[in-house]
Amino acid sequence: GAGVSQSPRYKVAKRGQDVALRCDPISGHVSLFWYQQALGQGPEFLTYFQNEAQLDKSGLPSDRFFAERPEGSVSTLKIQRTQQEDSAVYLCASSLARVRTNEKLFFGSGTQLSVL
């Protein structure tokens, strides 16, 4: 597709439920990032992939969060046993460059997760 695609757009989960959020980056983009954006805040880094390798997961808030990109394209962010504080917009971004610090990121529209 022309841009970064994320699904679902909205997800409502009961506390304790597992969720999986999908990101389809721009075709050919090597780098993929996940960000968490709480209401009224800027995005905060979660994790970074270069192709299929997860090179940085320092932003993942707990071991309930897990991300993968097994074939170097589509990525999935999984949150186990969701808690209310996990409610946020989860943004995916991709970049052609092979560096973590590239500013030329293309963001998806995000998945808004609400945990009840």
Partner 1 sequence: GQQLNQSPQSMFIQEGEDVSMNCTSSSIFNTWLWYKQDPGEGPVLLIALYKAGELTSNGRLTAQFGITRKDSFLNISASIPSDVGIYFCAGIFGNEKLTFGTGTRLTIIP
Spell out the residues 6+ positions from residue 50 whose beta carbon is closer than 8 angstroms to its own.
Answer: 30, 31, 98, 100
DSSP structure class, residue 72: S
The nearest distance, CB 16 to partner 1, in angstroms, is 25
Looking at beta carbons only, is 64 or 100 nearer to partner 1? 100
Looking at beta carbons only, is 42 or 71 nearer to partner 1? 42
Number of residues that bind partner 1 (CB under 8 A): 21
23-62: which residues touch partner 1 (CB under 8 A)? 40-45, 48, 56, 59
Give CA–CA dist 17/64, Å, rounded. 11
Looking at beta carbons only, is 75 or 110 nearer to partner 1? 110
CA-based radius of gyration for the chain: 13
Binding window for partner 1 (CB under 8 A); candidates: 12-20, 64-72, 76-84, 96-104: 96-104
Q: Rule CB under 8 A: is residue 114 a binding residue for partner 1?
A: no
Residue 73 Cα distances to 29, 62, 110, angstroms: 8, 24, 17
**CB-side neighbour CA atoms (13 Å) of 80:** 6
Which residue among 22, 57, 64, 100 contacts partner 1 (CB under 8 A)? 100
